């Protein structure tokens, strides 16, 4: 029997401004990298409990959990990959911020667009650069879902970004060893 084709659902959180990024295009571009079918799901409310008052940031794990809970019948089999997307600034324990987070076991990831905008770093708006960064972060998190760990090579998409410079330096592609380890 042929394995069922897996789907990727991009799930916008309610904060996301429609005009910020063409989500359908992002969904299909990310999905294509892994040979998946990409679609955009209905938006999800921001989980209030994910807000950290002291940090003024949202817990990446909190949003990831909310995305995981949205896995319902219309999304088909549990093999579908879910990718939450928000404009809110995300954090994880012991880190100032994170660009994204993935849970391979749940096949769910979340990315934040907050620090991908050139304006965040004092630059001029640059929609092309912004989209490219979003695509890179999405591919990186899906790489985790498909079994990849962080990679030492600075030009590999699986290199860990601790700054936007890291994100800009790495390519959208996987290095040769990482490519061989992708487990779809």
How many residues belong to the site for Zn ion (CB under 5 A)?
A: 6
Cβ proximity to Zn ion: between 117 and 136 the closer is 136
Per the annotation, the verdict on 119 as an active-site residue is no
Task: Look at residues 67, 106, 107, 97 and name the one whose alpha carbon lies nearest to residue 160.
Answer: 97
d(CA 175, CA 94): 28
Stretch that binds Zn ion, among 3-11, 58-66, 105-113, 146-154 (CB under 5 A): 146-154
- Mapped onto helix, strand or coil, the DSSP state of residue 8 is strand
Stretch that binds Zn ion, among 40-48, 57-65, 81-89, 172-180 (CB under 5 A): 172-180
d(CA 167, CA 29): 18
Binding residue for Zn ion, selected from 11, 83, 134, 175, defined by CB under 5 A: 175
Task: Strand 90-92: give its sheet, edge to edge.
Answer: 51-52, 57-59, 90-92, 95-98
Minimum Å gap between C-beta 158 and Zn ion is: 5
| Paired sense of beta strands 108-112 and 90-92, if any | unpaired
Cβ proximity to Zn ion: between 97 and 153 the closer is 153
Query: Catalytic pick from 25, 119, 137, 141?
Result: 141
Cβ proximity to Zn ion: between 119 and 168 the closer is 168
Q: Is 8 in the site for Zn ion (CB under 5 A)?
A: no
Q: Is 158 in the site for Zn ion (CB under 5 A)?
A: yes
- As given in the structure block, the two tokens for residue 153 are 């090579």
Question: Which uninterrupted H or E stretch holds 11?
Answer: strand 7-12
d(CA 161, CA 68): 24
Q: Is 178 in the site for Zn ion (CB under 5 A)?
A: yes
Q: Is 50 in the site for Zn ion (CB under 5 A)?
A: no
Q: Is 156 in the site for Zn ion (CB under 5 A)?
A: yes
Binding residue for Zn ion, selected from 151, 164, 167, 170, defined by CB under 5 A: 151
Please state the separation of Cα 80 from the chain's center in Å: 15
Q: Which residues bind Zn ion (CB under 5 A)?
A: 151, 153, 156, 158, 175, 178
State the catalytic residues. 141
């Amino acid at each position: 029997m042929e394995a069922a084709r897996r789907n990727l659902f991009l799930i916008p959180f309610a904060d996301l401004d429609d005009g910020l990024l063409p989500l359908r295009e992002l969904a299909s571009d990310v999905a294509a990298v892994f040979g998946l079918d990409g679609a955009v799901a209905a938006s999800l409310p921001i989980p209030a409990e994910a807000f950290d008052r002291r940090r003024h940031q949202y817990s990446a794990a909190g949003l990831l959990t909310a995305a995981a809970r949205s896995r319902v019948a219309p999304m088909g089999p549990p093999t579908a990959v879910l990718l939450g997307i928000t404009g809110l600034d995300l954090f994880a324990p012991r880190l100032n911020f994170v660009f994204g987070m993935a849970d391979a076991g749940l096949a769910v990831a979340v990315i934040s667009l907050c620090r991908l905008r050139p304006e965040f770093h004092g630059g001029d708006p640059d929609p092309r650069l912004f989209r490219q960064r979003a695509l890179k972060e999405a591919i990186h998190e899906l790489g985790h879902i498909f079994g990849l760990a962080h990679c030492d090579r600075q030009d590999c998409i699986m290199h860990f970004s601790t700054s936007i410079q890291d994100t800009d330096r790495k390519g959208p592609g996987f290095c040769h060893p990482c490519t061989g380890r992708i487990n779809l």
